[in-house]
């Protein structure tokens, strides 16, 4: 079981996804290390992500899309819509919290939101319930 104490800013993707609560990161085999860490096991769709590889992102000081003059660009809007609709997670909203309240506050909020009150495991963004203790 991954401890929620492991919540770390290196696992915050430029688009506002918290990779530490991604099912790709949480799975035991072929684990993705997170958007900001290079690895052989990173899924191709994340390696070739148009947001992570965006040339305007490379010019930002923070390394987050909130720092970009084009925010919200079409690709971020599409991803944000998919995450809001399918996973009840607003990526642009996440980015605004990081921008306005800082990384530490965002991580504290995210830890609270993603920690199972029943067993203490991290609940994946991509699942409605805790896979460690729900049937």
Query: Residue 64 is inside which H or E element, if any?
Result: none
The reply to whether 12 sits near ligand SF4 by the rule CB under 6 A is no
Q: Which does 109 bind (CB under 5 to 8 A by kind): Zn ion, ligand SF4, none?
A: none
- Count residues near ligand SF4 (CB under 6 A): 22
Which of 4, 7, 16, 51 touches ligand SF4 by CB under 6 A? 51
Report, in angstroms and rounded to the nearest whole number, the Rg of the chain calculated over CA atoms: 15
Which of 4, 7, 35, 94 touches ligand SF4 by CB under 6 A? 35
Please give the residues from 61 up to 120 whose contact with ligand SF4 meets the rule CB under 6 A: 65, 68, 70-71, 73, 75-76
Q: How far apart are CA 40 and CA 42, in angstroms?
A: 6
User: Of 56 and 96, which CB lies nearer to ligand SF4 in the complex structure?
Assistant: 56
Q: Which does 116 bind (CB under 5 to 8 A by kind): Zn ion, ligand SF4, none?
A: Zn ion
CA-to-CA separations, 105 to 21, 48, 66, 71, in angstroms, rounded: 16, 30, 16, 22
Which of 57, 92, 97, 98 touches ligand SF4 by CB under 6 A? 57
CA-to-CA separations, 100 to 66, 82, 105, 117, in angstroms, rounded: 10, 23, 10, 27
Q: How far apart are CA 47 and CA 131, in angstroms?
A: 26
Q: Which does 123 bind (CB under 5 to 8 A by kind): ligand SF4, Zn ion, none?
A: none
The reply to whether 133 sits near Zn ion by the rule CB under 5 A is yes
Q: Which two tokens stand for residue 11?
A: 């696992």
């Amino acid at each position: 079981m991954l401890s929620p104490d492991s919540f770390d800013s290196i696992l915050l993707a430029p688009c506002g996804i918290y990779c530490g609560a991604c099912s790709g990161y949480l799975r035991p085999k072929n684990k993705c290390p997170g958007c900001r860490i290079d690895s052989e096991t990173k899924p191709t769709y994340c390696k070739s992500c148009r947001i992570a590889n965006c040339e305007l992102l490379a010019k930002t000081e923070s390394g987050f899309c909130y720092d970009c003059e084009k925010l919200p660009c079409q690709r971020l809007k599409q991803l944000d819509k998919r995450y809001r609709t399918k996973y009840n997670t607003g990526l642009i909203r996440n980015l605004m919290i990081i921008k306005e309240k800082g990384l530490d506050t965002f991580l504290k909020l995210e830890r609270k939101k993603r920690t199972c009150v029943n067993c203490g495991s991290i609940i994946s963004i991509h699942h409605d319930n805790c896979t460690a203790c729900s049937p």
